[in-house]
Amino acid sequence: MDGVFCFPLYLSYMKIIITKSQYKSLITKLLNVLLGKLSLRTVKEKKRTSKLGDIHFHSVLDESGVEVMSIWITGPKNKGCKYDLTLDPLLTENMELYFPYYRHKIFSKVLVDYVYKYTGIKCDCVQYDYGFEGERRIDDEGDDYVFNTNWTKRYNVKKKKNIGESANERSNLENIIYGFLKDDFYPDYDWGPELFDFYDEEVRVFGSTTFHIDDDEAYTYYDDGTLEIMPWVCEKLNEYFNDSWYSVFKGWFEENSGLVVSRIVDSTDNDVLLSESTDKNKKLINGIVGFDFSNRITQITSSYDVPMNFDECFG
C-alpha cells in the first residue's frame, strides 16, 4: 500500500496531501538539482594522500567535488549503526530552505537510497546537526571566543517496523496512522528491544521517563502506567485523525519502549484519552450486546440490593 502522506506545504492556506511515492519522487528530483551525481573518497584513498592519523569516515562529494556528507564506518558512530551518514552543516542549511518534511525518517530513507545509488554503500543511520548558534564568551585569561551550539536528530532507517504486531493485522487507517507516528513522532534517541531494560530501570528509579522530538518533550511515561502526551503532539494527531490514533499510539509506544500503558492522558488538562482497562472491555461488551452500559452498572454489595428471585444465587 502506497499510503497517504501529509506535510505542511501551504499554498493560499491550503494543505497539500500527497502519497509517499509522490513525496519520494519529489525529494529525489530536489536532490538531483542540489547535489547532482555523487562521488566517494574512501578511507583507504584518504589515508594514501593524508598525513593525518586514524581516519574513520568516507567522504561523499557532490557533482562539483565539494564534500557534502560523511559515511562513518569506525570511530564515534551512533549506537547500533554500521554505516552512519552525517551531513555537512551547509548542506543542512540548504535542505532546510528547499526540502519539505525535512529531518524525518521518510526523508532519511530517500536520502539513503540516493547515496547508495552513487556510492554503493547502504547507510543504516542518518544524523542531522542543525540550528547552529554562536555565542561570544570570555575565558579565564580574559580572551574572548565564540562558543557554538547546535541540535542533533538521528534516525536508524533500517530499524524493524514492527516488533510484535504484524502490519497485516491492522486496518488501512491504522497502517496510515502507524506509519505517520514512525515518520513524525520517532524520538530523538534510538529505542527498541535493546533499550527495554534501560527504560524499565529509568522508570523504576526516577518514576518516569520522557521522550523528546527535536529536543522538545513529546510524551512521558510514569510508573503507574500513565502515558502523558504533550499538547503539540495531541493537536497535530487530532488534526489528522480525530481520536482514531489513541489505541494505535499505545500499541506503537509499547512495541518500541517495552513499557505497558494503562492509560493515555493529554497534558493540557490531564484529560484521559484512553483507559485500556475499561475501554477494551467496554468495546467488547458493546459489540456483543449492542448496548452501551456506561454509567448504568453499579456494584452489588448486599443480597438486599437485588430482587428476591436471585436469593438462591447468593451464599
Q: How confident is the model over 84-137, as pLDDT tens digits? A: 999 988 888 888 887 777 777 788 889 999 999 999 999 988 888 877 666 676
Task: Say if 312 falls within a structural domain.
Answer: no
Task: Say if 298 falls within a structural domain.
Answer: no
Q: How many residues does the chain have?
A: 315
**CA-closest candidate to residue 210, choices 221, 226, 199, 197:** 221
Q: How confident is the model over 263-303, as pLDDT tens digits? A: 899 877 767 887 755 455 555 555 555 555 554 556 666 66
Task: Say if 178 falls within a structural domain.
Answer: yes
Same domain for 233 and 109:
no
Radius of gyration of the chain, Cα coordinates, nearest whole angstrom: 26
Same domain for 263 and 184:
yes
Same domain for 278 and 181:
yes
Percentage of residues in the chain having pLDDT higher than 70: 71
Instruction: Report the chain's mean pLDDT, rounded to a whole number.
Output: 77
Task: Say if 295 falls within a structural domain.
Answer: no
Q: How confident is the model over 157-194, as pLDDT tens digits? A: 766 443 233 444 455 677 788 878 887 788 877 677 88
Same domain for 101 and 26:
yes
pTM equals 0.48
Same domain for 176 and 151:
no
The per-residue pLDDT for 283 is: 52
* Distant-in-sequence, close-in-space partners of 128: CB < 8 Å, separation ≥ 6: 87, 92, 103, 152, 153, 154
Task: Say if 165 falls within a structural domain.
Answer: no
Instruction: Find where cell 552513487 sits.
Output: 118
The per-residue pLDDT for 10 is: 41
Last residue in a domain, options 156, 188, 205: 156
Same domain for 118 and 40:
yes
The per-residue pLDDT for 192 is: 79
Domain that residue 92 falls in: 4-156
Last residue in a domain, options 132, 156, 180: 156
Q: What total number of domains does the chain contain? A: 2
Residue 259, pLDDT > 80, answer yes
Residue 151, pLDDT > 70, answer yes
The per-residue pLDDT for 163 is: 29
Distance CA 148, CA 132 (A): 7
The per-residue pLDDT for 60 is: 94
Last residue in a domain, options 131, 156, 181: 156
The per-residue pLDDT for 303 is: 63
Same domain for 281 and 223:
yes
Same domain for 104 and 212:
no
Output the DSSP codes for the chain: ---EEEEEEEETTEEEEEEHHHHHHHHHHHHHHHT-S-EEE-HHHHHHH---S---EEEEE-TTS-EEEEEE-SSSPPTT-SSEEEE-HHHHHHHHHH-TT-SSHHHHHHHHHHHHHHH----SEEEEEEEEEEEEEE-TTS-EEEEEEEEEEEEETTS-S-SSS-GGGS-HHHHHHHHHHHHHS--SS--SGGGHHHHHHHHHHHSEEEEEETTEEEEEEETTSEEEEPHHHHHHHHHHHTTTTHHHHHHHHHHHH-PPPSEEEETTTTEEEEEHHHHHHHHHHHHHHS---TT------SGGGS-GGGGGG--
CA 67 to chain CA centroid, Å, is: 28
The per-residue pLDDT for 187 is: 85
Task: Say if 50 falls within a structural domain.
Answer: yes
C-alpha cell at 49: 594522500
The per-residue pLDDT for 289 is: 53
Task: Say if 131 falls within a structural domain.
Answer: yes
* Distant-in-sequence, close-in-space partners of 296: CB < 8 Å, separation ≥ 6: none
Distance CA 219, CA 306 (A): 46
Same domain for 132 and 240:
no
Same domain for 176 and 103:
no
Residue 144, pLDDT > 60, answer yes
Q: How confident is the model over 37-87, as pLDDT tens digits? A: 999 999 888 888 776 667 888 999 999 999 999 999 887 777 778 889 999
Same domain for 180 and 146:
no
Confidence of residue 195 (pLDDT cuts 50, 70, 90): confident
The per-residue pLDDT for 145 is: 60
Task: Say if 306 falls within a structural domain.
Answer: no
Same domain for 278 and 138:
no
